[in-house]
Chains A and B, each alone.
Chain A
Protein backbone atom coordinates (compact mmCIF):
# COMPACT_ATOMS: atom_id res chain seq x y z
CA UNK A 1 0.00 0.00 0.00
CA UNK A 2 1.35 3.39 -0.96
CA UNK A 3 1.67 6.10 1.68
CA UNK A 4 0.56 8.80 -0.76
CA UNK A 5 -2.32 10.67 0.77
CA UNK A 6 -5.23 11.69 -1.33
CA UNK A 7 -7.34 14.65 -0.33
CA UNK A 8 -10.51 13.82 1.55
CA UNK A 9 -13.81 14.05 -0.24
CA UNK A 10 -16.04 16.95 0.80
CA UNK A 11 -18.98 16.14 3.11
CA UNK A 12 -21.84 14.55 1.22
CA UNK A 13 -24.14 11.61 0.97
CA UNK A 14 -22.55 8.34 0.07
CA UNK A 15 -24.22 5.13 -0.90
CA UNK A 16 -23.62 2.04 -2.98
CA UNK A 17 -22.31 3.27 -6.31
CA UNK A 18 -22.96 6.96 -5.80
CA UNK A 19 -21.70 9.99 -3.92
CA UNK A 20 -23.66 13.22 -3.74
CA UNK A 21 -22.42 16.62 -2.64
CA UNK A 22 -22.90 20.21 -3.69
CA UNK A 23 -21.22 21.33 -6.87
CA UNK A 24 -19.48 24.37 -5.34
CA UNK A 25 -17.63 22.09 -2.89
CA UNK A 26 -16.40 19.90 -5.73
CA UNK A 27 -15.45 22.88 -7.84
CA UNK A 28 -13.68 24.52 -4.90
CA UNK A 29 -11.75 21.32 -4.25
CA UNK A 30 -10.73 21.01 -7.88
CA UNK A 31 -9.79 24.66 -8.20
CA UNK A 32 -7.78 24.80 -5.00
CA UNK A 33 -5.46 21.98 -6.06
CA UNK A 34 -4.86 23.25 -9.56
CA UNK A 35 -4.26 26.97 -9.10
CA UNK A 36 -2.18 28.54 -11.84
CA UNK A 37 -0.18 31.33 -10.27
CA UNK A 38 1.08 34.32 -12.18
CA UNK A 39 4.35 35.39 -10.51
CA UNK A 40 4.55 39.18 -10.63
CA UNK A 41 8.04 39.29 -9.11
CA UNK A 42 9.77 42.65 -9.08
CA UNK A 43 12.51 42.27 -6.45
CA UNK A 44 14.02 40.16 -3.67
CA UNK A 45 10.73 38.47 -2.73
CA UNK A 46 10.83 36.99 -6.23
CA UNK A 47 14.06 35.22 -5.28
CA UNK A 48 12.34 33.66 -2.25
CA UNK A 49 9.53 32.62 -4.55
CA UNK A 50 12.01 30.88 -6.84
CA UNK A 51 13.22 28.95 -3.81
CA UNK A 52 9.61 28.10 -3.02
CA UNK A 53 9.07 26.77 -6.52
CA UNK A 54 12.28 24.74 -6.55
CA UNK A 55 12.30 21.08 -5.43
CA UNK A 56 13.42 21.69 -1.85
CA UNK A 57 10.20 23.49 -0.87
CA UNK A 58 8.28 22.38 -3.94
CA UNK A 59 5.13 24.42 -4.40
CA UNK A 60 4.19 21.77 -6.98
CA UNK A 61 3.01 19.61 -4.06
CA UNK A 62 0.08 22.01 -3.78
CA UNK A 63 -0.89 21.70 -7.41
CA UNK A 64 0.70 24.99 -8.42
CA UNK A 65 3.63 23.84 -10.48
CA UNK A 66 2.19 25.30 -13.64
CA UNK A 67 3.12 28.97 -13.56
CA UNK A 68 1.12 30.99 -16.00
CA UNK A 69 2.94 33.89 -17.57
CA UNK A 70 -0.22 35.00 -19.32
CA UNK A 71 -2.73 36.68 -17.00
CA UNK A 72 -5.56 35.34 -19.15
CA UNK A 73 -4.82 31.79 -18.03
CA UNK A 74 -3.91 32.55 -14.41
CA UNK A 75 -6.08 32.07 -11.33
CA UNK A 76 -3.79 33.57 -8.73
CA UNK A 77 -1.81 36.79 -9.02
CA UNK A 78 1.23 36.58 -6.74
CA UNK A 79 2.65 40.08 -6.30
CA UNK A 80 6.14 39.82 -4.89
CA UNK A 81 8.26 42.89 -4.40
CA UNK A 82 8.22 46.67 -4.47
CA UNK A 83 5.63 48.14 -6.82
CA UNK A 84 6.59 51.65 -7.86
CA UNK A 85 3.88 54.10 -8.83
CA UNK A 86 4.93 53.83 -12.43
CA UNK A 87 4.46 50.04 -12.23
CA UNK A 88 1.00 50.49 -10.65
CA UNK A 89 -1.00 50.81 -13.91
CA UNK A 90 0.85 47.76 -15.31
CA UNK A 91 -0.10 45.67 -12.29
CA UNK A 92 -3.68 46.85 -12.54
CA UNK A 93 -3.77 45.97 -16.23
CA UNK A 94 -2.49 42.48 -15.45
CA UNK A 95 -5.20 42.07 -12.81
CA UNK A 96 -7.90 43.28 -15.20
CA UNK A 97 -6.80 40.77 -17.82
CA UNK A 98 -7.25 37.83 -15.47
CA UNK A 99 -10.46 35.89 -15.85
CA UNK A 100 -12.81 35.22 -12.93
CA UNK A 101 -12.41 33.52 -10.54
CA UNK A 102 -9.20 35.26 -9.58
CA UNK A 103 -7.29 35.69 -6.35
CA UNK A 104 -4.46 37.99 -5.32
CA UNK A 105 -1.66 37.17 -2.93
CA UNK A 106 0.55 40.02 -1.72
CA UNK A 107 3.96 38.81 -0.60
CA UNK A 108 6.40 40.79 1.52
CA UNK A 109 6.42 44.13 3.29
CA UNK A 110 6.77 46.20 0.11
CA UNK A 111 3.77 44.75 -1.71
CA UNK A 112 1.67 44.82 1.50
CA UNK A 113 2.47 48.31 2.78
CA UNK A 114 5.34 49.87 0.87
CA UNK A 115 7.85 48.41 3.34
CA UNK A 116 10.96 50.48 3.87
CA UNK A 117 10.12 52.55 0.79
CA UNK A 118 8.08 55.28 2.45
CA UNK A 119 8.62 57.58 -0.50
CA UNK A 120 6.78 59.49 -3.20
CA UNK A 121 7.69 57.07 -5.98
CA UNK A 122 6.52 53.80 -4.42
CA UNK A 123 2.99 52.48 -4.07
CA UNK A 124 2.19 52.16 -0.35
CA UNK A 125 0.69 48.70 -0.66
CA UNK A 126 -0.82 47.16 -3.77
CA UNK A 127 -4.26 47.29 -2.14
CA UNK A 128 -4.35 50.93 -3.22
CA UNK A 129 -5.04 49.76 -6.76
CA UNK A 130 -6.25 46.12 -6.67
CA UNK A 131 -8.08 44.03 -4.04
CA UNK A 132 -5.89 41.58 -2.12
CA UNK A 133 -6.99 38.24 -0.64
CA UNK A 134 -3.97 37.18 1.42
CA UNK A 135 -1.04 39.21 2.76
CA UNK A 136 2.25 37.50 3.62
CA UNK A 137 4.37 39.58 6.01
CA UNK A 138 8.15 39.44 6.05
CA UNK A 139 11.11 41.11 4.41
CA UNK A 140 11.40 38.82 2.58
CA UNK A 141 9.12 36.04 3.88
CA UNK A 142 10.63 32.59 4.14
CA UNK A 143 9.40 29.95 1.70
CA UNK A 144 7.44 28.35 4.55
CA UNK A 145 5.53 31.60 4.91
CA UNK A 146 4.83 31.66 1.18
CA UNK A 147 3.51 28.11 1.37
CA UNK A 148 1.36 29.08 4.36
CA UNK A 149 -0.02 32.05 2.43
CA UNK A 150 -0.69 29.81 -0.53
CA UNK A 151 -2.56 27.36 1.70
CA UNK A 152 -4.67 30.25 2.99
CA UNK A 153 -5.57 30.99 -0.63
CA UNK A 154 -6.48 27.32 -1.10
CA UNK A 155 -8.74 27.52 1.94
CA UNK A 156 -10.43 30.58 0.48
CA UNK A 157 -10.90 28.82 -2.84
CA UNK A 158 -12.41 25.75 -1.19
CA UNK A 159 -14.91 27.63 0.94
CA UNK A 160 -16.00 30.15 -1.65
CA UNK A 161 -19.37 30.06 -3.31
CA UNK A 162 -19.38 28.88 -6.89
CA UNK A 163 -19.84 32.27 -8.50
CA UNK A 164 -18.22 34.74 -6.16
CA UNK A 165 -18.20 37.33 -8.93
CA UNK A 166 -22.01 37.59 -8.72
CA UNK A 167 -22.20 38.35 -5.00
CA UNK A 168 -23.06 41.96 -4.10
CA UNK A 169 -20.13 42.19 -1.63
CA UNK A 170 -17.64 41.26 -4.32
CA UNK A 171 -19.12 43.64 -6.84
CA UNK A 172 -19.07 46.40 -4.24
CA UNK A 173 -15.42 45.63 -3.50
CA UNK A 174 -14.49 45.80 -7.17
CA UNK A 175 -16.53 48.98 -7.63
CA UNK A 176 -14.54 50.60 -4.81
CA UNK A 177 -11.44 50.00 -6.95
CA UNK A 178 -13.17 51.35 -10.05
CA UNK A 179 -13.41 47.89 -11.65
CA UNK A 180 -16.87 47.00 -12.96
Chain B
Protein backbone atom coordinates (compact mmCIF):
# COMPACT_ATOMS: atom_id res chain seq x y z
CA UNK B 1 0.00 0.00 0.00
CA UNK B 2 1.35 3.36 -1.01
CA UNK B 3 1.96 6.29 1.27
CA UNK B 4 -0.60 8.34 -0.63
CA UNK B 5 -3.95 7.02 -1.79
CA UNK B 6 -5.24 7.23 -5.33
CA UNK B 7 -7.80 9.79 -4.15
CA UNK B 8 -5.13 12.12 -2.76
CA UNK B 9 -3.09 11.65 -5.91
CA UNK B 10 -6.07 12.40 -8.13
CA UNK B 11 -6.94 15.51 -6.11
CA UNK B 12 -3.46 16.95 -6.44
CA UNK B 13 -3.48 16.28 -10.19
CA UNK B 14 -6.95 17.79 -10.54
CA UNK B 15 -5.84 20.93 -8.70
CA UNK B 16 -3.68 21.78 -11.70
CA UNK B 17 -5.07 19.75 -14.60
CA UNK B 18 -8.80 19.52 -13.84
CA UNK B 19 -9.79 20.35 -17.42
CA UNK B 20 -7.21 18.14 -19.11
CA UNK B 21 -7.90 14.68 -17.71
CA UNK B 22 -10.84 12.44 -18.59
CA UNK B 23 -11.95 8.81 -18.31
CA UNK B 24 -10.69 8.38 -14.76
CA UNK B 25 -10.80 4.80 -13.52
CA UNK B 26 -9.00 2.45 -11.14
CA UNK B 27 -8.55 -0.97 -12.77
CA UNK B 28 -6.82 -3.32 -10.29
CA UNK B 29 -6.29 -0.33 -7.99
CA UNK B 30 -4.13 1.46 -10.55
CA UNK B 31 -5.18 5.06 -11.09
CA UNK B 32 -5.71 5.45 -14.85
CA UNK B 33 -6.83 8.43 -16.88
CA UNK B 34 -6.65 9.95 -20.31
CA UNK B 35 -4.92 13.19 -21.15
CA UNK B 36 -4.42 15.31 -24.25
CA UNK B 37 -1.10 15.50 -26.03
CA UNK B 38 -0.94 19.31 -25.67
CA UNK B 39 -0.51 19.12 -21.89
CA UNK B 40 1.16 15.73 -21.57
CA UNK B 41 4.73 16.94 -20.99
CA UNK B 42 3.50 19.56 -18.56
CA UNK B 43 1.56 16.85 -16.71
CA UNK B 44 4.52 14.46 -16.64
CA UNK B 45 6.82 17.25 -15.45
CA UNK B 46 4.39 18.04 -12.64
CA UNK B 47 4.15 14.39 -11.58
CA UNK B 48 7.93 14.01 -11.63
CA UNK B 49 8.92 17.23 -9.89
CA UNK B 50 6.10 17.80 -7.42
CA UNK B 51 7.72 17.41 -3.98
CA UNK B 52 4.74 15.50 -2.58
CA UNK B 53 4.26 13.09 -5.50
CA UNK B 54 7.77 12.45 -6.91
CA UNK B 55 6.93 10.08 -9.76
CA UNK B 56 10.64 9.84 -10.53
CA UNK B 57 10.58 6.49 -12.32
CA UNK B 58 9.21 5.97 -15.82
CA UNK B 59 8.20 2.30 -15.87
CA UNK B 60 7.13 2.12 -19.49
CA UNK B 61 5.89 3.88 -22.57
CA UNK B 62 3.89 1.69 -24.88
CA UNK B 63 1.17 1.91 -27.48
CA UNK B 64 -2.23 0.47 -28.33
CA UNK B 65 -4.42 0.42 -31.42
CA UNK B 66 -8.24 0.51 -31.37
CA UNK B 67 -9.13 0.71 -35.09
CA UNK B 68 -12.84 1.31 -34.43
CA UNK B 69 -12.30 4.46 -32.36
CA UNK B 70 -12.20 8.01 -33.59
CA UNK B 71 -8.68 8.40 -32.19
CA UNK B 72 -7.28 4.92 -32.77
CA UNK B 73 -3.63 5.16 -31.73
CA UNK B 74 -2.89 5.31 -28.03
CA UNK B 75 0.32 6.10 -26.17
CA UNK B 76 0.42 4.85 -22.59
CA UNK B 77 2.72 6.07 -19.86
CA UNK B 78 3.30 4.12 -16.65
CA UNK B 79 4.89 6.13 -13.87
CA UNK B 80 6.07 4.89 -10.49
CA UNK B 81 6.70 6.99 -7.44
CA UNK B 82 9.50 5.05 -5.74
CA UNK B 83 9.22 7.47 -2.80
CA UNK B 84 5.51 6.94 -2.17
CA UNK B 85 5.25 3.40 -3.62
CA UNK B 86 2.34 4.30 -5.86
CA UNK B 87 1.83 3.98 -9.60
CA UNK B 88 -0.18 5.83 -12.21
CA UNK B 89 -1.17 5.11 -15.80
CA UNK B 90 -1.75 7.89 -18.33
CA UNK B 91 -3.23 7.33 -21.79
CA UNK B 92 -3.02 9.74 -24.71
CA UNK B 93 -5.04 8.98 -27.84
CA UNK B 94 -4.09 10.30 -31.26
CA UNK B 95 -6.01 10.58 -34.50
CA UNK B 96 -4.95 8.41 -37.43
CA UNK B 97 -2.76 10.38 -39.82
CA UNK B 98 -1.67 12.80 -37.11
CA UNK B 99 0.29 10.56 -34.77
CA UNK B 100 2.56 13.24 -33.35
CA UNK B 101 3.26 13.58 -29.62
CA UNK B 102 6.03 15.46 -27.83
CA UNK B 103 8.92 13.34 -26.58
CA UNK B 104 9.38 12.46 -22.93
CA UNK B 105 13.17 12.20 -23.33
CA UNK B 106 13.35 15.74 -21.95
CA UNK B 107 12.31 14.27 -18.59
CA UNK B 108 13.73 10.74 -18.61
CA UNK B 109 16.64 9.55 -20.74
CA UNK B 110 15.13 6.09 -20.42
CA UNK B 111 12.23 7.21 -22.57
CA UNK B 112 14.54 7.12 -25.58
CA UNK B 113 14.34 3.38 -26.28
CA UNK B 114 10.71 3.11 -25.11
CA UNK B 115 9.67 5.71 -27.65
CA UNK B 116 11.74 4.06 -30.34
CA UNK B 117 9.92 0.81 -29.58
CA UNK B 118 6.52 2.51 -29.68
CA UNK B 119 7.47 4.09 -33.01
CA UNK B 120 8.70 0.73 -34.28
CA UNK B 121 5.48 -1.12 -33.54
CA UNK B 122 2.77 1.54 -33.77
CA UNK B 123 4.31 4.29 -35.91
CA UNK B 124 3.84 6.99 -33.28
CA UNK B 125 6.04 9.99 -34.09
CA UNK B 126 7.65 11.50 -31.01
CA UNK B 127 8.47 15.11 -31.84
CA UNK B 128 11.87 16.16 -30.53
CA UNK B 129 13.16 12.61 -30.04
CA UNK B 130 16.94 12.62 -30.66
CA UNK B 131 17.08 9.40 -32.70
CA UNK B 132 13.68 8.09 -33.74
CA UNK B 133 14.35 4.90 -35.72
CA UNK B 134 13.44 1.24 -35.45
CA UNK B 135 14.87 -0.62 -32.50
CA UNK B 136 13.59 -4.24 -32.48
CA UNK B 137 12.37 -5.02 -35.98
CA UNK B 138 14.54 -5.26 -39.07
CA UNK B 139 15.57 -1.86 -40.39
CA UNK B 140 14.01 -2.36 -43.81
CA UNK B 141 10.55 -3.20 -42.46
CA UNK B 142 7.96 -0.95 -44.08
CA UNK B 143 4.96 -1.59 -41.80
CA UNK B 144 4.14 -1.00 -38.14
CA UNK B 145 3.34 -4.59 -37.21
CA UNK B 146 1.25 -4.10 -34.07
CA UNK B 147 -1.32 -2.03 -35.92
CA UNK B 148 -4.38 -4.11 -36.68
CA UNK B 149 -4.40 -3.45 -40.42
CA UNK B 150 -1.23 -5.51 -40.84
CA UNK B 151 -1.53 -9.29 -40.55
CA UNK B 152 0.24 -10.97 -37.66
CA UNK B 153 1.22 -14.04 -39.69
CA UNK B 154 4.10 -14.19 -42.09
CA UNK B 155 2.96 -14.52 -45.74
CA UNK B 156 5.87 -16.87 -46.52
CA UNK B 157 4.47 -19.62 -44.31
CA UNK B 158 3.83 -22.65 -46.52
CA UNK B 159 2.87 -25.54 -44.25
CA UNK B 160 -0.43 -24.00 -43.15
CA UNK B 161 -1.90 -23.53 -46.62
CA UNK B 162 -5.47 -24.81 -46.96
CA UNK B 163 -4.71 -27.39 -49.65
CA UNK B 164 -2.58 -29.38 -47.23
CA UNK B 165 -5.74 -29.92 -45.18
CA UNK B 166 -8.22 -30.58 -48.00
CA UNK B 167 -9.85 -27.19 -47.58
Which residues from chain A sit less than 8 Å from chain B, CB to CB? 85-86, 88, 113-114, 118-122, 124, 128
Contacts and interface: CB of A to CB of B under 8 A. Distances in A.
A128 B150 CA distance: 22
5 contacts: A113-B159, A118-B154, A119-B154, A120-B151, A124-B158
Contacts of A114: 154, 157
A137 B37 CA distance: 51
B153 interface: yes
B137 interface: yes
B157 A121 contact: no
A120 B158 contact: no
A85 B136 CA distance: 10
Contact of B137 (A88, A121, A124, A128): A121
How extensive is the interface on chain B, given as a class?
A: 10 to 19
Contacts of B154: 114, 118-120, 122, 124
Contacts of A120: 143, 145, 150-154
Which of A113, A114, A120 has the most chain B CB atoms inside 10 A of its CB? Answer: A120
Contact of B138 (A86, A118, A124): A86
A88 B150 CA distance: 22
A122 to B, nearest CB: 7
Contacts of B159: 113
Given A113-B159, A124-B158, A119 B153 contact: yes
Contacts of B153: 118-120
A120 B143 CA distance: 10
B152 A128 contact: no
A86 B135 CA distance: 11
Interface string B132-167: 000011100001010000111110111110000000
Contacts of A124: 154, 156-158
A122 B138 CA distance: 11
B164 to A, nearest CB: 12
A86 to B, nearest CB: 5
A86 B156 contact: no
B158 A85 contact: no
A120 B155 CA distance: 8
